[in-house]
Amino acid sequence: MGESAPRKDAPAKVTGRAQFVDDLTLPEMLYGVTVRSTVARGRIQRIRFDPAFEWDECVIVRAEDIPGRNVVPLIADDQPCLAGQVVNHAEEPVLLIAHEDRHMAESARRRVKVEYERLPGVYSIDAALRADAGAPFKSYTVAKGNVEEGFRRAKWVVEGEYETGAQEQLYIEPQGVLAVASPREGVTVWGSMQCPYYVQRALAAVFGLPEEMIRVVQCETGGGFGGKEEYPSMIAAHAALLAWKSRRPVKIIYDRAEDIAATTKRHPSRTRHRTGVAPDGTLTAMEIDFTLDGGAYCTLSPVVLSRGTIHAGGPYRCDNVRISSRAVATNHPPHGAFRGFGAPQSIFAMERHMDRIAKTIGMDPAELRRRNFLRQGDTTATGQVIRERVELPALLERALAESRWEEKRRTFAVTNGNGNVRRGMGIAAFMHGAGFTGSGERHLRSQVAVEATAEGKARVLASSCEMGQGSKTVLCQIAAEALGTKLEDVEIAQPDTAEVPDSGPTVASRTSMVVGKLVESAARDLRRTLDQSGLLEGRTFSEACRELVKRRGGFKSWSRYQPPPGQWWDDDRYSGDAYGTYSWAVQVAEVAVDLVTYETSVTAFVSAQEVGRVLNPALAEGQVEGGVAQGIGLALYEKVVYDKGRVVNSQMTNYIMPAPGDLPPIRSIFLETPYEFGPGGAKGLGELPIDGPAPAILNAVEDATGAAVARIPMTPEDLLDALERTHE
């Protein structure tokens, strides 16, 4: 480990042989489509089927056809699989149609007209917070020390309000599922997804079948970023319902417009900060109010809110903290998981606010952060004692040095007087908790197995999904090291609930750290068995495995999650060890702002992080570069435009993600401090890099132009407005 072993899946991917769900077909297969609501809130009055169409060629599924419960079960079980009488958001699924000719399926979809009695909707956080709107999905309060006392000790009290918009995951492979289903055989689905066991649970509820009768297979998945965490359960249920009724295989593949308009996005947020600052720049009190727009159904909002809340105070020490937060209901399509899971939103606010504080008190933004970094032995807002060494000061120094912070700031101070380009530098410092929050991992009780195969390989069995992040390769590397053998001797099963145990969802930067640890311990167990039975004497590893299988008729070693010793968490008071450990980072953005067009380009980017031991440097760099790219998108380009709850820019032409010409060279630096409870010392990495780019970039824009923008995405139009405000 610690080497950039080539990806296991690369050859299939570069030759086009890798099988994504839309590459599968089955004999007799039908194509499924979804009729969706065209209004954000309303009561269904009538459904008209164009009489000129040959409806007998179609299979149609309505809510009444659901054999089990009409629900996509998650946290609150409030989201129907198909709308019954009312719709609560635009693009809510109302009816399903399948046809053997995919062109005709589309024609059929267009010939169904659903009539609604429109009802008033809620389309903003402000409207949702008004007294007459419903209760929030969830709220939290985190409290530590005495905030009033802290404000009394402050020389300055700095306030700010910050907002972030929705963001589309925009995986390049749109969502899709292929299903077969019958009462006798049960349900089998193949799909693009992150969490096969979530899908299994959903299908069991929708069909009223025991979980053993539901088989879920993950196909090669063309990116997920959280977007394929919860929504695949919906599509799988739809495809399977059509298959159940038609007794034929059914495939549903979303087109891009449907995928953007209907599936989940990053939660829009608003954060208010009020911070007390002592004469020396240390923080004496932090009062934070954090609100997420959850959309029309609860889905994952409580856990996204939780992570956002816990990260809202940043990586800073402060004795007096109060954080109140809530996820409110609106009539937007439900917002959901997206890399970072609430943390990029609240960290954006915190890190922009740190620059506001620095400006207010006249301190260098790097110095302000340096003075306030958490240290070993400090407690976080939830009262968690940081037991490891915190490398933030070293990360800051490396990031400043690598970005030539001092020198560039001096140069820009001179050159910014001339011409039409203004340049600036900005920092963001942050941490990201790895794995599920609080008692989450304990409830999950993840399990993996490593087996010896008759072909003489060790085979990892886990439900963790490869979706580009390189988990297949990393888990095999971990197993190979624990087994004391070559990477070629290890393979990993494709996630298939009929074959692999539930190692938990592929989310929350938990795969390398949590699942990897389980793989390590199961692999060690297999190794021990090989050692103790003396099979390795005079045999290669591969021969020994073959022999083991021959003698015992197969061999699997299992391992199940054990919490690190001493970890405690109180769900009611929301205090304790929120995460087993944190990864830490400092990022520096350098920007150029064109005063003719108000366009901001990121001209250089440095990301310095401590993520424990780096298991595969090339993959780790890939994660950082990809995460930073999405963070740049979040900061400058990616805007979801709603009109009364409907997304109006649901094409790639109009929802703008960074193309090759929009991204700078991204430099990643890793400081390695092995983590005791991670496999080979590793911590989580996947989400960390997307937390910082947006605040670092907007801080840099303020450095360059003086314009303080508190909302992302910051388009050139927004910057023009802000510049005019600044110069008034």
Partner 1 sequence: MRANVSRYDLRAPDGLTEALHLVSNGWKPLAGGTDLMVLLEAGKLAERRLAGLWKLDELRGIEVGDETITLGALTIFAELRHSPVVGLNLPLLASAAAEIGGVANQNRATLGGNLANASPAADAAPALLVYDAELEIVSLEGTRRVPYHQFHRGYKEMDLRAGELIARIHLPNGRGRWQGCWRKVATRAAQAITKVSLAAAARVEEGRIAEIRIAYGAVAPYPLRCHRMEAALRGAALPAQLPPFDELAPIDDFRSTARYRLKVARNLMETFLASLA
Partner 2 sequence: MSDQVELLLQVNGAARRVEAWPLERLLDVLRHGLGLKGTKEGCGEGECGSCVVIMDGKLVVSCLVPALEADGSSITTIEGLGGEAGLDSMQQAFVDEGAAQCGFCTPGMIMAANALCQGGRTMDHASIREGLAGNLCRCTGYMKILAAVRKAGGARP
Q: Whole-number minimum distance, CB 317 to partner 1, in Å? A: 40
Residue 17 interacting partner from ligand FES, partner 2, partner 1, none (CB closer than 5 to 8 Å by kind) = partner 2
The Cα–Cα gap between 537 and 544 comes to 8
The Cα angle at residue 403 between residues 693 and 4, in degrees rounded to 5: 75
Longest pairwise C-alpha distance within the chain: 84
* Residue 578 CB partners (closer than 8 Å, separation 6+): 310, 380, 382, 384, 433, 437, 438, 569
Told to check if 316 binds partner 2 by CB under 8 A, we report: no
DSSP state for residue 703 in the 8-state scheme = H
Chain positions 170 to 189 lying near ligand FES, rule: CB under 6 A, are: 172
DSSP string, 286-332: EEEEEEEEEESS-TTHHHHHHHHHHTTTTTB--S-EEEEEEEEE-SS
Contact status: 540 vs partner 1 (CB under 8 A): no
Q: In the complex, what is the shortest distance from the CB of residue 283 to partner 2, in angstroms, rounded to a whole number?
A: 33
Q: Which of 16, 130, 659, 727 binds partner 1 (CB under 8 A)?
A: 659
The smaller minimum CB distance to partner 1, of residues 414 and 659, is found at 659
**Residue type for 624, please?**
V
Q: Which residue has the tokens 């061999």?
A: 555
Of 104, 361, 394, 618, the one binding partner 1 by CB under 8 A: 104
Shortest distance (Å) from residue 526 CB to partner 2: 29
CA distance 546 to 502: 26
Name which position in 78, 106, 397, 402 contacts partner 1 (CB under 8 A): 106
Structure tokens at 128: 């949702």
Task: Please count the other Cβ atoms lying within 10 Å of the Cβ belonging to residue 27.
Answer: 6
For residue 654, the minimal CB distance to partner 2 (Å) is 9
Both tokens of 362, joined, read 């006249």
**Closest CA relative to residue 288, chosen from 148, 185, 399, 159:** 159
Q: x/- site string to partner 1, residues 393 to 422, per CB under 8 A?
A: ---------------------------x--
14: contact with ligand FES by CB under 6 A: no
State the nearest-atom distance from the C-beta of 690 to ligand FES, in Å: 15
Tell me which stretch binds partner 1 (CB under 8 A): 55-63, 164-172, 531-539, 593-601: 593-601
Tell me whether the omega of the peptide bond preceding residue 501 falls within 30 degrees of 0, making it cis. Answer: no
Binding partner of residue 601 among partner 2, ligand FES, partner 1, none, CB cut-off 5 to 8 Å per kind: partner 1
Instruction: Determine the size of the site formed for partner 2 (CB under 8 A).
Output: 55
Q: Which of partner 1, partner 2, ligand FES, none does residue 106 bind to, with CB < 5 to 8 Å depending on kind?
A: partner 1
Separation of alpha carbons 336 and 297, rounded Å? 10
Q: Using the rule CB under 8 A, is 598 a contact of partner 1?
A: yes
Do the beta carbons of residue 635 and residue 702 sit within 8 Å? Answer: no
Nearer to partner 1, 215 or 646 (CB): 646
- Does residue 110 interact with partner 2 by CB under 8 A? no
Can residue 31 be called a binding residue for partner 2 (CB under 8 A)?
no
Separation between Cα atoms, residue 477 and residue 87, nearest integer Å: 48
Tell me how far apart the alpha carbons of residues 477 and 491 are, in angstroms, rounded to a whole number. Answer: 10
| Alpha helix ranges (H) inside 600-692 | 617-636
Sign of CA dihedral 423, 429, 435, 437: negative
- Which structure tokens are listed for 122? 């809620």
Minimum distance between the CB of residue 723 and partner 2, rounded to whole angstroms?
Answer: 28
CB of 639 to partner 1, least distance (A): 8
Residue 52 is a binding residue for partner 1 (CB under 8 A): no
Q: Which of residues 665-694 bind partner 2 (CB under 8 A)?
A: 665-666
Q: Residue 597 or 651: which CB sits closer to ligand FES? A: 651
User: Measured between alpha carbons, how far is 167 from 165 in angstroms, rounded to an integer?
Assistant: 6
DSSP state of 552: H
- 354 sits in which H/E element: helix 343-361
Query: What's the token pair of residue 470?
Result: 């390189």
- What part of residues 601-620 is at the interface with ligand FES (CB under 6 A)? none
Beta carbon of residue 531, minimum distance to partner 2 (angstroms, whole number): 34
Distances (CA, A) of 269 to 141, 339, 344, 345, 528: 17, 15, 10, 6, 50
Nearer to partner 1, 30 or 337 (CB): 30
Strands (E) in 370-472, as ranges, are: 421-434, 447-452, 458-461
Strands 569-570 and 575-576: antiparallel
104 interface partner picked from partner 1, ligand FES, partner 2, none, CB below 5 to 8 A per type: partner 1
Beta strand 575-576 pairing with 458-461: unpaired
Question: Does residue 468 bind ligand FES (CB under 6 A)?
Answer: yes
Read off the tokens for 266: 């990053």
Residue 4 CB, nearest distance to partner 1 (Å)?
30
- Give one word for 301, left, alpha or beta, with left for phi > 0 and alpha for psi -120 to 50: alpha
- Which of partner 1, partner 2, ligand FES, none interacts with 6 (beta carbon under 5 to 8 A by kind)? partner 2
User: Closest residue to ligand FES, Cβ-based?
Assistant: 172
* Binder among 27, 653, 727, 728 for partner 1 (CB under 8 A): 653
Among 617, 622, 658, 706, binds partner 1 (CB under 8 A): 658
User: Which stretch, 96-104, 119-127, 529-537, 703-711, contacts partner 1 (CB under 8 A)?
Assistant: 96-104
Least distance between ligand FES and beta carbon 627 (Å) = 13
Contacts with partner 2 in 575-634 (CB under 8 A)? Answer: 618-619, 621-622, 625-630
31 φ, ψ (degrees, to nearest 5): -105, 130
User: Which of 10, 14, 454, 641: binder of partner 1 (CB under 8 A)?
Assistant: 641
Residue 641 identity? V
Residue tagged 């298939």 (tokens): 496
Cβ–Cβ under 8 Å, residues 238 and 81: yes
Residue carrying structure tokens 């060790």: 458
Tell me, by CB under 8 A, how many residues bind partner 1.
33
Q: Which of 84, 223, 563, 617 touches ligand FES by CB under 6 A?
A: 223
- Please report, as ranges, the residues that interact with partner 2 according to CB under 8 A: 4, 6-7, 9-20, 22-23, 103, 169-174, 220-223, 225, 255-256, 467-470, 618-619, 621-622, 625-630, 651-653, 657, 659-661, 663, 665-666
Contact residues toward ligand FES (CB under 6 A) are 172, 223, 468
Residues within the interface to partner 1 (CB under 8 A)? 101-104, 106-107, 110, 255, 257, 420, 595-599, 601, 637, 641, 648-649, 651, 653-654, 656, 658-662, 716-717, 720-721
